[in-house]
Structure 1
Amino acid sequence: MRAILLPVFFLIIHLAAAQRVIPLYLNGVPNARAVPDQEVNNAGQVVLNVSTPTLTVYTPPTPNGTAVIICPGGGYGALVIKREGYEVAEAFNKMGITAFVLKYRLPNDKTMVDKSIGPLQDAQQAIKLVRQRAAEWHVDVAKIGIVGFSAGGHLAATAGTHSERAMIDNSENVNLRPDFMILVYPVISFTDSLGHSGSRKNLLGESPSADQIKLYSNELQVTKQTPPAFLLHAGDDRIVSVENSLAFYEALHRHEVPAGMHIYPAGDHGFLNTPTRDEWMNLCKSWLQANGWLNK
């Protein structure tokens, strides 16, 4: 019995050591109002009212130097943090990738001075923090990517297309550009014809200006400096039209940014039944491998 229990004990110890929650900011959260924390955690599955951002660190047994910052979705009104965060981090760990689940602030006029920039501040701070502490986590500073789902995909794409516009204090001049993006059924555009109205309303309010809509329609913000991207979407997505991924891919291609894309005929929004996580993660693995991000 003891021989059986010992390996289980050491496995538990390893898992506990491999996952650690750290604050995103050490010297106060920028753009924040002094209000009580009203975060709601629904049995570890979904988080609401996030005003205190964190990173949950998932370290693989043998890191290969690549890291990903994972942005769960939820329409900028919630975070589907287990299914699109923790479970995805564990899958990346199996590839040897160090993963960081970003619990980013959800836009709210009560908790932020300017809610439109809060999530982007947190994404940029996550990139900055991982680069600054790369040696601690055995991460190559040139192999730090960002992964996003749905509205988290919009945030990841915003981080990739707005990296020259620092929304945080960056007196150290740390590179805020992710090295690659993986966008899964992402919201890309806030235009009337393509955009997800709920995400746009939550981030920009009821009546955003034309300039705001353009600024956060990331297919319009692609340049030659935008990082390479891999997009996954389902053609039958009834929540976020596949046209979002198509428009972003076309913009990347037009600016000669390396990009890959896979469109499933079925899967709807969230890939709840099909494709399986193993299936679409294998596509991510192949793309990462082909681009040299899985090599030590």
Structure 2
Amino acid sequence: MQVTTKTLGQGRLTVQITLYQPATIADFHQDVTRPLAIILPGGGFTFHSQREQEPIALAYAAQGFAAVVVHYRLIDQGAVLPTALWQIGLVVQHFRHHAAAYHISPEHLVLAGFSAGGYLGALYAGLWMTDDIAYQVGCPTAELRVNALALAYSVIGLRFGWPDDPRLVQAVVGDWPTHEADQVVTAQNPPTFIWATQTDELVPVENTLTYLRALNRAGVSVRATIYDHGPHGLSLAQDQTAFPKRFRPDNPTFGAAFSQPDIASWFNDELAWLNRRWQLEDFWRNQ
């Protein structure tokens, strides 16, 4: 595994990324072309959650994917929108344009967003074909396309209960008018995998339900799961991403809620969905 942190872009449009590339399997006597997961971690626009960075990247890498974590703009750097959308476009265009050098398949890009990162992913999925992003990145619109979108407990609209602080909403949107992801869905949205929990105490499940209705109206292929329990921010919902007892000495059982074996199946479900859509068995075997 090679892990590289680099900065893409120049001038006023730059973004830092961390790329996880599985090592070449020497037994094959050739380089392997891999799908790419572009990961947008959550963190409420104030930080990038590490629980949704390397653990997620390694989960994809274990399935043969390359993975890249996008360190998109946060509110301490100014309004998140639209700069974060331009940054995502810059990452997508970079890996499409340099796919051969990275041994990436440009037709197998999945944009994977969590919570606040999912909000940016959902917005990007509805706006990637607009002239604004192409102009800012400096590329043809076709180079901004992703092939699938995967969302976990995602914010979709800033009007559904989170953020509940108008100052945070303003810090996110600035003067950007199109900031409700369900309202920018078109038939050009990528096929979407999405999951959430009914008892999410931070991001109401209405976000996901509203997005599902918008995708359905637009005729976008979607696979969705609403679990009937579970807190916000589950990540892989496994022990290694659950909060340890020392995180909350006053409540040592707090972290146990973040390990949910039935919900942890979401990642395998997503891979099965991608396998069916992309025929990954043939993709691997026909190289």
**Post-superposition offset of 1:28:** 2.2
**Post-superposition offset of 1:197:** 1.5
1:291 correspondence with 2:260: no
Contact persistence 1:267–1:275 (CA under 8 A) = no
Equivalence for 1:172: 139
Contact persistence 2:86–2:137 (CA under 8 A) = no
Letter in structure 2 aligned against 1:230: F
Cα displacement string for residues 84-105 of structure 1 (whole angstroms, at most 9, x for unaligned residues): 0111000001111111011111
Aligned residues: 249
Equivalence for 2:108: 143
The whole-number CA distance in structure 2 between the counterparts of 1:106 and 1:206 is 8
The whole-number CA distance in structure 2 between the counterparts of 1:106 and 1:293 is 36
Equivalence for 1:121: 86
3-state DSSP of counterpart to 2:44: coil
Which runs of 5 or more residues in structure 2 are unaligned? 25-31, 235-257
Cα displacement string for residues 241-269 of structure 1 (whole angstroms, at most 9, x for unaligned residues): 11111111111111111000011111110
Cα displacement string for residues 211-245 of structure 1 (whole angstroms, at most 9, x for unaligned residues): 83xx2111111111111100011111010011111
Distance of aligned partners of 1:203 and 1:176 in 2 relative to their CA distance in 1, 3 Å threshold? farther
Contact persistence 1:107–1:116 (CA under 8 A) = no
Cα displacement string for residues 84-138 of structure 1 (whole angstroms, at most 9, x for unaligned residues): 0111000001111111011111134xx44x5421211211111111111111121
The whole-number CA distance in structure 2 between the counterparts of 1:257 and 1:135 is 29
Cα displacement string for residues 128-151 of structure 1 (whole angstroms, at most 9, x for unaligned residues): 111111111211212112000000
Contact persistence 2:81–2:172 (CA under 8 A) = no
Letter in structure 1 aligned against 2:224: M
Distance of aligned partners of 1:146 and 1:198 in 2 relative to their CA distance in 1, 3 Å threshold? farther
3-state DSSP of counterpart to 2:101: coil
Letter in structure 2 aligned against 1:98: A
Q: Which of 147, 156, 163 does residue 197 from structure 1 map onto?
A: 163
1:101 correspondence with 2:69: yes
Judging by fraction of residues, say which structure has more helix: 2
The whole-number CA distance in structure 2 between the counterparts of 1:93 and 1:207 is 33
1:75 correspondence with 2:44: yes
Contact persistence 1:179–1:227 (CA under 8 A) = yes
3-state DSSP of counterpart to 1:224: coil
Judging by fraction of residues, say which structure has more strand: 2
The whole-number CA distance in structure 2 between the counterparts of 1:267 and 1:284 is 18
TM-score between both structures, scaled by the size of structure 2: 0.79
Equivalence for 1:186: 154
Q: Which of 216, 231, 253 does residue 216 from structure 2 map onto?
A: 253
Contact persistence 1:188–1:195 (CA under 8 A) = no
3-state DSSP of counterpart to 2:117: helix
Contact persistence 2:118–2:151 (CA under 8 A) = yes
TM-score between both structures, scaled by the size of structure 1: 0.77
1:19 correspondence with 2:6: no
The whole-number CA distance in structure 1 between the counterparts of 2:165 and 2:100 is 36
The whole-number CA distance in structure 1 between the counterparts of 2:98 and 2:263 is 30
Contact persistence 1:182–1:229 (CA under 8 A) = yes
Equivalence for 2:251: none
Cα displacement string for residues 161-196 of structure 1 (whole angstroms, at most 9, x for unaligned residues): 1102333534331521221100000000122xx141
Equivalence for 1:49: none
Letter in structure 1 aligned against 2:151: L
Q: Which of 205, 222, 226 does residue 185 from structure 2 map onto?
A: 222
3-state DSSP of counterpart to 1:53: strand
